[in-house]
Amino acid sequence: GPGAGRAAQLNKMRAILVGGAGVEPSLLSEIQQLKVPVYLTYGMTETASHMALRRLNGPEASAYYRVLPGLHLGQDKRGCLTVRGDVTDDKLIVTNDQIQLLDKHTFDWLGRVDFVINSGGVKVQAEKVELVLDVALAELGQARRVFVAGRPDERLGEAITAYVEGPPLPATAEQRLLALLAERLGKYEVPKAILYVPAFQSTASGKLDRAATQRRAAG
């Protein structure tokens, strides 16, 4: 935790911007105790700057992003966010981020289109399943790295599969995990299998390499 001293230092700032896609639940509860406004930024590599903010704490906290002035939001036929404005040199930029457009300034970020699993004709956001899996493992005292992906399946096209780093969970813990997932996810979102991988593969820049890890688990 940040401790009282660090919290006091942080509260002297005018605002704090947090980058990256998701905020872990433990971090979120710390952020909600701070008085200084904390925003999650939405940026794109294409624009090299943040272009929308989501307030994480205080009375104005929101589940949605508000776009900065001077930008126009839209959606392509995949439901992905499109942006044009000053930071894009007025060019239309198409992202791979699926969103729900609430009004012309506000959107809900659903996940990356390349992380959508098409299972039995139902489109499932891998990142949503990952977040629920993450929280459930932590509650069972089994926090470890996870990711969710589709594995080829004759009947479903892709079967939703949870990849968990480290040794297999004890059978009772795995049963409790599956029960928690069934409670918190839609029936099409619940992983059909949990695969344990001794160590996840990383890219040269240290990011998780999902494809290489999946190949290794299949091998």
Total number of domains constituting the chain? 2
One domain, residues 90 and 155: no
> Any bridge partners for residue 135, and if so which?
none
Distance CA 163, CA 130 (A): 10
Per the model's pLDDT, the better-predicted residue between 118 and 22 turns out to be 118
With a cut of 70, say whether residue 3 has pLDDT above it: no
**Residue that is last in its domain, among 71, 91, 112:** 112
One domain, residues 80 and 154: no
**pLDDT tens per residue across span 79-137:** 999 999 987 888 888 888 889 999 999 999 888 887 889 999 898 989 889 989 999 99
One domain, residues 50 and 127: no
CATH number of residue 44's parent domain: 3.40.50.12780
Q: Which residues constitute the domain of residue 27?
A: 3-112
Distance CA 63, CA 54 (A): 7
| The pLDDT of residue 89 | 85
**Beta carbons within 8 Å of 200's beta carbon, 6+ residues apart:** 145, 147, 163, 165, 208, 209, 213
Phi/psi for 178 (5° steps) reads -65, -35
End-to-end CA distance of the chain: 40
One domain, residues 67 and 98: yes
Letter string b/e over residues 160-196, b meaning 16 or more CB atoms within 10 A of that residue's CB: bbbbbeeeebeeeebebbeebbeeebeeebbbeebbe
**Residue that is last in its domain, among 77, 112, 147:** 112
One domain, residues 18 and 77: yes
